[in-house]
Amino acid sequence: GLKKKEVHVLCLGLDNSGKTTIINKLKPSNAQTQDIVPTIGFICLSQYLICQAKADTEISGNTTTNIKHRRLPILFFANKMDLRDAISSVKVSQLLSLENIKDKPWHICASDALKGEGLQEGVDWLQDQIQ
Ligand code: GDP
């Protein structure tokens, strides 16, 4: 049968970019929070069971967090795509020069975390990467 495996996902982004909203939407509906208060700080670390897959990640260390990695996949969300002046995911990848990332698999999705659009596409990609 299918085996569930816990994986560690590190979620990084600018303040107010939608990290908490994205993580919240990925939870089962009965575990979702209705009111999201913008996260203070610059890092949001979430441990979340997303799929049946073999984790390729080890997080260790006490004062510092040391991430040992082998081809850790990186998923980018170009979030808030619903905003009128939002730029496309293609343009975002150009602005961030993502094509220069040669040693890791990466993927970018446009998303609207309020409606939940684009999130599943990203998670499906991530799931494929960590099988
Ligand atoms: P965080 O600081 O990165 O955790 O950002 P939050 O998840 O707290 O979101 C910051 C604000 O942006 C909140 O008011 C969210 O409702 C809003 N927000 C998040 N995602 C979207 C989106 O896709 N579209 C729009 N229009 N607003 C969003």
pTM score, whole prediction? 0.78
Ligand 1 site, residue 82, Cβ cutoff 6 A: yes
Question: Which ipTM did the prediction report?
Answer: 0.99
2 domain-assigned: no
**CATH number (domain holding residue 35):** 3.40.50.300
In angstroms, rounded to a whole number, what is the distance separating the alpha carbons of residues 131 and 129? 6
Split into its structural domains, the chain has a count of: 1
Buried b (16+ CB within 10 A) or exposed e, 112-126: bbeeeebbeebbebb
Instruction: Name the closest-CA residue to atom 15, ligand 1.
Output: 18
| pLDDT-derived band at 49, boundaries 50, 70, 90 | very low
> Does residue 106 sit within a domain?
yes
The rounded Å distance from CA 16 to ligand 1 centre is: 6
Domain that holds residue 116: 8-129
Give tens-digit pLDDT for 1-44. Answer: 567 777 788 888 888 999 999 998 988 777 777 766 655 443 33
Tell me, using a 6 A CB cutoff, whether residue 12 lines ligand 1: no
| Domain presence at residue 107 | yes
